[in-house]
Amino acid sequence: MYELNMAFNAIISALIVIQSALCLPFNTLLFRIDNGASVFESGDDMYTVMWSTSLPGTGYVTYTYEGEEHTVKDLHNASLRTQESIHSVRIPKEHLDNNTYTCHSQYVGTRRAYVAIKGRTVSTKPVKFRGYSGQDKINVLVLSDIHENPGNAAKAVACFENEPDLLVMNGDEVSFMTAAYKFKQVLSYAHRFSGGSIPVVYTNGNHENRGEFAGDYIDLFKTTTGGLYYTCRYGPIEFLCLDSGEDKKDSDWTYSGLVDYTSYIADETEWLQTVELDEDAQYKVCVVHIPNIKNRYGNNWVDILADMGIGFLIGGHKHRINFEYNQNGAPFYQMLDGGKSRDNGYVATMLTFADGQINAVCYDNEKNLRGEHTYSFNEESPSGEAP
């Protein structure tokens, strides 16, 4: 495989050298940005900006903050990552919030000990990014279980009157993760629905665990926990984002004996027991793909989440709408959406946080209003009837 890659890169590099000499447009056709930027929450008051190019190369983000120009590179230790076409840069949230940024990549065909063949540099348009700016109402668009059907998600999203301030992608956005191109699909959805101009809260679905790239893609988020679990803050909302792993045992035939979610979830549970959410957060929200938090590989997360004051859980996985209080004995609300089942289409949700309440509105891809519900945060009983 290494030799094949080298041969491919040598051919592309030769083409680029020849076309440069002859002033032909191959460079433009061959190396381009194929997925625009998305800004992911990744914990520790940082964002992870990701985009992708048609071929491998470098990645860096430029912006000006407090009068100073910044260039943040996609590095692996001290070395620029050049073997991948998905680029990932971590930037402090205070630098990016309500600021403008641009992503750049330069083609790198061959990188040897003392020489590298490099091609053109491509850049995104400057993107104006909207972080929290003290607004009274916060609109959160929730897209779970797209399962490679972004057109239907777009039809549902078009029904909402309000523009989102934040996008939640709650897992199973693709049905498997066999190679980098599958995560590029996820990036295409993230960019399509966020434009790179609002933060994206992303969690891992069980389907994204299936395939050889499953472990690698999580590294691209560069979280300090090492897994796809973290906390993040948007104004008065504090999110606890969890990775629920798979929906079957490690020993199931599906995984060919090549996974160990038992250990991964045990590590996550250990981390979870150390998390202290901000006392000042008005809304404490858990985002997790599989809503069965009572039993994650033998770990019961219900009491842990209750003790940290979680008041609302956004789940997916079930491909149906559900509004429920006290599910699994958890003393908070749970909302499920997303996906499509045999008898109905894709359902998207807009959550509006305001005045200590959350208003949920759900539309499907046929433009039908599929549910509306208001939650009074941290009350002992639901304020409205689930439809």
Q: How many residues bind Fe ion (CB under 5 A)?
A: 4
- On the CB side of 357, how many CA atoms lie within 13 Å of its CA? 10
CB nearer to Fe ion: give 227 or 338. Answer: 338
Distance CA 316, CA 322 (A): 9
Tell which residue, 71, 51, 30, 57, has the closest CA to residue 116. Answer: 57
Question: Which residues, 167 to 186, sit near Fe ion by CB under 5 A?
Answer: 172
Between 42 and 244, CB nearer to Fe ion: 244
**C-beta of 334: minimal distance to Fe ion in Å?**
15
Query: What's the full length of the chain, in residues?
Result: 387
User: Residue 318 CB, nearest distance to Fe ion (Å)?
Assistant: 8
* CB of residue 26 to Fe ion, shortest distance in Å: 42
User: Concatenated DSSP letters for 347-387?
Assistant: EEEEEEEETTEEEEEEEETTS-EEEEEEEETT-SS-SS---
Nearest distance in Å: CB 292, Fe ion = 11
- Closer to Fe ion by Cβ: residue 13 or 206: 206
For 89, how many CA atoms within 13 A lie in the half-sphere containing its CB? 26
CB 360 within 8 A of CB 335: yes
Closer by beta carbon to Fe ion, 56 or else 205: 205
Structure tokens at 2: 């290494």
Residues 314-373 that bind Fe ion (CB under 5 A): 317
Nearer to Fe ion (CB atom), residue 172 or residue 243: 172
CA-based R_g, the chain, Å: 22
Per-residue binder mask for Fe ion (CB under 5 A), 185-214, x = binder: --------------------xx--------
SS percent in the chain: helix, strand, coil, step 5: 20, 35, 45
The least distance separating Fe ion from the CB of residue 291, rounded to whole angstroms, comes to: 10
Distance CA 239, CA 313 (A): 10
DSSP single-letter state for residue 296: B
Q: Residue with CB nearest Fe ion?
A: 317
- Between residues 165 and 172, which has the closer beta carbon with respect to Fe ion? 172
CA pseudo-torsion sign 345, 296, 372, 203: negative
Q: How far is the CB of 39 from Fe ion (least distance, A)?
A: 24
243 binds Fe ion (CB under 5 A): no
Using CB under 5 A as the binding rule, the residues of this chain from 105 to 134 that contact Fe ion are none
Instruction: Please report how close the Cβ of residue 146 comes to Fe ion at its closest, in angstroms.
Output: 11
Compare residues 233 and 294 and give the one whose CB is closer to Fe ion. Answer: 294
The single-letter code of the amino acid at 134 is G
SS3 162: coil
Binding-site ranges for Fe ion (CB under 5 A): 172, 205-206, 317
